[in-house]
C-alpha cells in the first residue's frame, strides 16, 4: 500500500463496492460508484477442461480479450462507456460471492486527484453449482467534487490454480483465528444507494499542482485509459491544468467530435 491513509480508503471502498456487487438482485445501485464518462471491460479465459470449474461460456460472448477479438468494431462494442451501459453489463454477469480473505491489493497510485488499485482474489458463482473463479480487477478512481468515483474498471476472470486455493484456505484459517480475539469494526458507508449523483468515497484535502512524480503517474494512466501516446496524454493534462477528470472529459468530447489527430495514438 502507498500509505496508511490510502490503505484505509481502499479497504473501505472494496468493502462497500462488493457489498453492492455481491447481491442476489440488481446491481443497479453501483451506478452511483461510476463517473458519467467511465469505461468498463472484462476478459475471460479458461485453459482448463477440469469439470470442477464448469463452463466459461457465459463470459466468453462479451469477453474483450484483444488476442481473440480482432475486429475493431467488436472491440469498440465490448468496451462499455458510461454508467448506464456499465451497470447493464454488470447485471448480465453471474451472481457472485467474493471472499475478502482471498484479496491481494496493490495500491499503485494514491494522490488527491487520482487513485489506481489492483485487487485479485477468489469468488464463487452462486447460481446452480458453487463454481470457484479467480479474478483480477484494476480500478482507476478520480476526484469529483469532495469525493471520488470510478473512471475505469478492467476485470479479468480465470479458473483458480491449486496453489491459489491452498493459500486462500490458509488465510481463511488465520483470519478465523484472529477474529476470535479481535472483533472487526464495520467501516462507514462510502457509496450511498439513493438520492445522490456521485458516490461519496472519503475525501482528501485537495492540493495544488501535483508534483513531478504524480504528473508522470497521471500521464501514464491517461495514456493507458485513452489509448493516446505519452506526449499527447501529457499535452491533454497540461491543457486542463492537471485535472484528471477534466482531461478525461476533454478527451471524450474531442474523440466523439473526431478532432483528435491520428498521430495522438501512434506509440
Residue 56 is part of a domain; what is its CATH number?
Answer: 3.10.450.50
Rounded to two decimals, the pTM is: 0.68
Residues 6+ apart with CB under 8 A from 155: 40, 41, 42, 43, 135, 136, 137
- The pLDDT of residue 196 is 43
Q: What value does the mean pLDDT take over residues 226-239?
A: 89
Q: Of 133, 163, 181, which closes a domain?
A: 181
In-domain check, residue 124:
yes
Same structural domain, 98 and 229: no
* pLDDT for 204 beyond 70: no
- The pLDDT of residue 200 is 46
Domains of the chain: total: 2
In-domain check, residue 241:
yes
Q: What are the pLDDT digits (tens) for 137-183?
A: 999 999 887 778 999 999 999 888 888 888 877 877 777 777 666 55
Residue predicted with more confidence, 248 or 13: 13
Q: What are the pLDDT digits (tens) for 62-93?
A: 888 777 777 788 788 889 999 999 999 999 99
In-domain check, residue 205:
no
In-domain check, residue 102:
yes
Same structural domain, 255 and 160: no
Same structural domain, 49 and 177: yes
Domain that holds residue 219: 212-265
- The pLDDT of residue 54 is 56
In-domain check, residue 204:
no
In-domain check, residue 41:
yes
Q: What distance in Å separates the CA atoms of residue 113 and residue 232, rounded to the nearest whole number? A: 20
Same structural domain, 15 and 136: yes
- The pLDDT of residue 119 is 95
Same structural domain, 161 and 220: no
Amino acid at each position: 500500500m502507498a500509505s496508511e491513509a490510502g490503505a484505509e480508503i481502499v479497504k473501505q471502498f472494496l468493502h462497500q463496492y462488493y457489498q453492492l456487487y455481491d447481491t442476489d438482485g440488481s446491481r443497479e445501485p453501483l451506478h452511483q460508484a461510476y463517473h458519467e464518462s467511465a469505461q468498463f471491460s472484462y476478459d475471460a479465459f479458461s485453459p482448463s477442461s477440469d469439470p470442477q470449474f464448469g463452463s466459461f461460456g457465459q463470459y466468453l460472448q462479451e469477453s474483450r480479450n484483444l488476442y481473440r477479438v480482432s475486429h475493431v468494431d467488436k472491440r469498440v462494442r465490448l468496451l462499455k462507456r458510461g454508467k448506464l451501459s456499465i451497470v447493464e453489463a454488470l447485471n448480465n454477469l453471474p451472481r457472485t460471492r467474493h471472499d475478502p480473505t482471498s484479496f491481494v491489493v496493490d495500491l499503485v497510485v494514491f494522490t488527491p486527484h487520482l487513485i489506481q488499485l489492483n485487487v485479485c482474489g477468489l469468488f464463487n458463482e452462486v447460481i446452480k453449482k458453487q463454481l470457484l473463479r479467480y479474478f483480477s480487477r484494476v480500478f482507476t478512481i478520480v476526484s469529483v467534487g469532495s469525493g471520488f468515483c470510478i473512471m475505469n474498471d478492467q476485470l479479468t476472470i480465470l479458473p483458480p490454480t491449486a496453489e491459489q486455493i491452498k493459500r486462500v484456505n490458509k488465510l481463511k484459517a488465520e483470519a478465523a483465528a484472529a477474529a476470535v480475539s479481535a472483533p472487526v469494526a464495520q467501516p462507514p458507508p462510502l457509496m450511498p444507494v439513493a438520492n445522490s449523483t456521485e458516490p461519496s468515497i472519503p475525501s482528501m484535502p485537495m492540493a495544488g499542482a501535483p508534483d513531478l512524480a504524480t504528473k508522470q503517474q497521471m500521464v501514464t494512466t491517461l495514456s493507458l485509459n485513452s489509448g493516446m501516446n505519452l506526449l499527447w496524454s501529457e499535452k491533454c493534462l497540461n491543457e486542463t491544468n492537471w485535472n484528471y477528470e477534466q482531461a478525461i472529459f476533454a478527451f471524450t468530447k474531442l474523440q466523439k467530435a473526431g478532432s483528435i489527430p491520428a498521430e495522438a495514438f501512434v506509440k
